[in-house]
Amino acid sequence: MASYSTNEFRSGLKVMLEGDPCVIIENEFVKPGKGQAFNRVKFRNLMSNRVWERTFKSGESIEAADVMDYDMEYLYTDGEFWHFMMTDGSFEQHAASKDAVGDTIDWLKEQEVYSVTLYNGSPLSVSAPNFVELQVVETDPGLKGDTAQGGSKPAKLSTGATVKVPLFITEGEVLKIDTRTGEYVGRVK
């Protein structure tokens, strides 16, 4: 496996640290005028999401992590695993665990494309596109003519997620949702 020297450190770089894949968040070059150079580095552990700081002598190297992001289409879940397929024409399938899917479970829709991070060939995490379009399966009846008022009500989507929507939204409508905030953006015609 390749390794990276401190002079190649930059944010976004994925490395192995204490046996876990980590991503560099911040890298600071520290050198007293007359002293040895060091790198003060902030990492996020990709398994636990824990953030911590380490100090390395400049010139030290650490092992690269076999971590890559791929575009994959979501196929289905068998209850234990969520199955995805590469969009590069290889039809290669990968099964993501509940931990790997994480909060993205709220935005999973069949045939939609997600970014799946593979670590040593298996899914480590799944991230949703910034916007997804999902159908309302359950909400209180719409109030006619109430488009101007700022009120909102909860609506349950096909994925099981609940979002706040304007009062005029009715069951069966398809909504555009911002997955980063979990907020309603608009209706899809």
Measured from the CB of residue 12, what is the shortest distance to other proteins in angstroms?
16
In the numeric block, which tokens belong to residue 119?
Answer: 């670590």
Q: Which stretch binds other proteins (CB under 8 A): 25-33, 113-121, 124-132, 166-174?
A: 25-33
For other proteins, which residue of 3, 8, 30, 152 counts as binding (CB under 8 A)? 30
For other proteins, which residue of 19, 34, 141, 144 counts as binding (CB under 8 A)? 34
In the numeric block, which tokens belong to residue 33?
Answer: 């005028």
103 sits near other proteins (criterion: CB under 8 A): no
Q: Count residues contacting other proteins (CB under 8 A)?
A: 16
Amino acid at 50: R
Q: What are phi and psi for residue 143, nearest 5 degrees?
A: -100, 115
Burial of 39 (0-12, 13-18, 19+ CB in 10 A): buried
29 sits near other proteins (criterion: CB under 8 A): yes
Measured from the CB of residue 124, what is the shortest distance to other proteins in angstroms?
24
Contacts with other proteins, 50-89, as mask; x by CB under 8 A = ----xxxx--------------------------------
d(CA 180, CA 124): 19
28 sits near other proteins (criterion: CB under 8 A): yes
Q: Are 65 and 89 in contact (CB under 8 A)?
A: no
In the numeric block, which tokens belong to residue 15?
Answer: 């490395």
Pick 25 or 113: Cβ nearer other proteins: 25
For other proteins, which residue of 1, 12, 19, 32 counts as binding (CB under 8 A)? 32
β-bridge mates for residue 52, sequence order: 43
Helix, strand, or coil (residue 6): helix
3 sits near other proteins (criterion: CB under 8 A): no
Measured from the CB of residue 2, what is the shortest distance to other proteins in angstroms?
21
Question: What's the CA angle centered on 114, arms 124 and 127, to 5 degrees?
Answer: 50
